[in-house]
Structure 1
Amino acid sequence: ASAKVYKLKCSVALGPGTGIWKAGTEWAQRVKQASNGQLEITMYPPGALVGTTETLEATGRRVIDMAFSTAEYWAGKDPAFAFVTYLPGGFDNPIQHDFWLYNRGGIDLIRELYAKYNVYLLSLPYYPAEYLMTRVPIKSMADIKGKKLVFSGSMQHTLFNKLGASTVFMPTGERVTALERGVIDGGDIGVPSTTVAIGADRVAKYLLRPSLHQPSSALELVINMDLWKSLPDNLKTILEREAYDLAWRCYRESLDLDLAALKKMRAEGLQEFTLPESEVNEIVRIARSCWEEEAKKTDLGKKILDSQIAVMKELGLLN
């Protein structure tokens, strides 16, 4: 008898032209090859099947089979999700994050969180730095005061509120219109290639370094739990192996696109500012106080945070 073919639908948080879409669609092809055609995954852009901010629940209820998105969207459902991706003032790069996940048990704690939503986490694909992009110049901490900024993660909202900004949330795709209308001054407009792909570079002409709110990022690749449990072991192995491979390909592909996007933006008049080191240190100090504040809202989040802090100490990032 011929092997059973699984035709799966996966919703992606960003559409064509972005690093996520490119890495995700290529991933689906590699999975099909590796499984000899048994796993046929079709990728859908945001809104084609479900809205960007509905993919977690839709995967849990199996309205869709899988999703490639970001945990940042779910902190409103469960504050523990704030600790899944990068903490401002935390790990410096994905190598440290990866070490925590796979050598110090971080992934098990995070899977425990996703399991509550009847979802299995395949991997946390890495993503390069996201800079503060604005339509008005921000050169210092003082300039942040009074600005209206957009962010995805709840931790970023807490941090920038403490720095004197007012913050709002909206899916990445809606941020361009808000910038054009002056509803927001800027904020997290995605990595540079996303900024260009959604057309926000026409309005956001100022970039602030270093990236404090998202020095690197971890996305999410999830699958419905019942479907996952029903898969034969060999297909589970292929999905997990390819999902981990995607974690790093996603980072490399996105970085490649980001470098090209920065080049384009610079040619079109992008102005770049760098915060003085004393202010960077001060913002990191404030960011770290936000961690504990957010962790008070969630037992599992506190467990995930404590696990990260132990590794940060081990790596000499924290005293």
Structure 2
Amino acid sequence: MTSRRKFLKTAGIAGAATLAAPAVKAQAPIKWRMQTYAGPALAEHVIKPSIDAFNIAAKGQMEIELFFSDQLVPTGELFRAMQKGTIDAVQSDDDSMASPTEVTVFGGYFPFASRYSLDVPVLFNQYGLKEIWDEEYAAVGVKHISAGAWDPCHFATKDPINSLEDMKGKRVFTFPTAGRFLSQFGVVPVTLPWEDIEVAVQTGELDGIAWSGITEDYTVGWADVTNYFLTNNISGAWAGSFFANMDRWNELPEHLKVMLQMAMDQSHYYRQWWYWGGEANLRVHGTKLKLTTIPDEEWATVEKAAVQFWDEIAAESPTKAKVVDIFRKYNADMEKAGRPYRYS
């Protein structure tokens, strides 16, 4: 009886505590605003599927609201907005969002730093670029989440390019560093909002675009306003990243950080096969753009100029020199490895 009374007393206290406790409601989700450099049509492939999947997997604990190119702030102001906390996270290359770091010049398309899309993740994860990027961004209050590869950089133009002479005077929408490099060949770099590019080509404000490969030209409508696609490229793969405001990142519980990292990695993976397959398929089966090629012996002039460009960039700071040294070592290793890593 003593044991029974003790049990009832204990159970009664526990039961009363349970009855007295208010109903536990799910915590309000952590809400982030993320802006991508991509417009709506491109974002459907390069980021939206991963963000949608993350929001489902987060089960109400966190929700990321995605904004497209220039929706909240102009692309060139993305870094500052994220640093201040106006935007919580960003998908962009360093170059386009004008980040004030020593590695900014290497984002987007750094001339001939890569030949294939796999070069980018290997450079970051096996050759030391990740540590440099992490350190550079942490110093300015931003978390560098991860880097990945996109498409190669080709010209899509209204008039054909069959020689370096044909490039002279062409007003082209391109990345800041790519424009700086290409200007020595007479290309006139033009900066415009991403959403204005198609109309600018139609009105003659632009002669072409050196922003992407052929997959993107078809996806976003640029293949509808240009006529030719130059098969030579100045880079085998765009390099871009996911970033977050450091304070907001640090506030996340560990499991959400892991989930977010996985979503970003999945996004990188999707882009690799989507672009890689799309580039070949549209060259062979596409009907909107005629392919042109500058002969190898003439294009070698551009490749030689890139080596000098690397020297100029390396001379600007010790950090830039360190990154260029990594590019040199990596490309030398790939050349020595031979096929299929490099075809000399």
The TM-score range, normalised by the shorter chain, is: 0.7 to 0.9
Contact 2:32/2:63 (<8 A) preserved: yes
Give the stretch that moved more between structures: 58-67 or 286-295: 286-295
Alignment of 1:119-158 (within 5 A): 119-154=142-177, 156-158=178-180
The aligned amino acid for 1:238 is M
Q: 1:283 and 1:48 mapped to 2: Cα distance?
A: 36
Q: Which residue of 1 aligns with 2:8?
A: none
174 and 263 in structure 1: CA distance in 2 versus 1, 3 angstrom threshold = farther
Q: Unmatched 5+ residue regions in structure 2?
A: 1-23, 337-341
1:233 and 2:257 are equivalent in the alignment: no
The aligned amino acid for 1:56 is F
Q: Which residue of 2 aligns with 1:244?
A: 265
Q: 1:57 and 1:87 mapped to 2: Cα distance?
A: 22
Q: Which residue of 2 aligns with 1:102?
A: 125
Structure 2 counterpart of 1:43, from 56, 59, 66: 66
8 and 262 in structure 1: CA distance in 2 versus 1, 3 angstrom threshold = farther
For CA contacts below 8 A with separation 6 or more, give which structure has more relative contact order: 1
Aligned-pair distance for 1:22? 2.8
Q: 1:161 and 1:259 mapped to 2: Cα distance?
A: 28
Structure 2 counterpart of 1:278, from 297, 314, 333: 297
1:267 and 2:267 are equivalent in the alignment: no
313 and 132 in structure 1: CA distance in 2 versus 1, 3 angstrom threshold = same
Q: Which has the larger radius of gyration?
A: 2
81 and 157 in structure 1: CA distance in 2 versus 1, 3 angstrom threshold = same
Aligned-pair distance for 1:198? 4.0
SS state at 2:41 partner: coil
Aligned-pair distance for 1:225? 0.6
1:223 and 2:244 are equivalent in the alignment: yes
Aligned-pair distance for 1:138? 0.8
Give the stretch that moved more between structures: 198-207 or 277-286: 198-207
Q: 1:150 and 1:130 mapped to 2: Cα distance?
A: 12
Q: Which residue of 2 aligns with 1:304?
A: 323
Aligned-pair distance for 1:262? 5.7
SS state at 1:92 partner: coil
The aligned amino acid for 1:209 is T
Q: 2:152 and 2:56 mapped to 1: Cα distance?
A: 31
1:92 and 2:111 are equivalent in the alignment: no
How many residues in Structure 1 have an aligned counterpart in Structure 2? 314
Aligned-pair distance for 1:46? 2.1
SS state at 2:95 partner: helix
Structure 2 counterpart of 1:71, from 88, 94, 97: 94
Q: 1:75 and 1:293 mapped to 2: Cα distance?
A: 19
Aligned-pair distance for 1:27? 0.8
209 and 275 in structure 1: CA distance in 2 versus 1, 3 angstrom threshold = same
Contact 2:109/2:153 (<8 A) preserved: no
RMSD: 2.6
Deviation per CA, 1:165-202: give whole Å up to 9, x if none: 22222333222232222222213143334334443323
SS state at 2:33 partner: strand
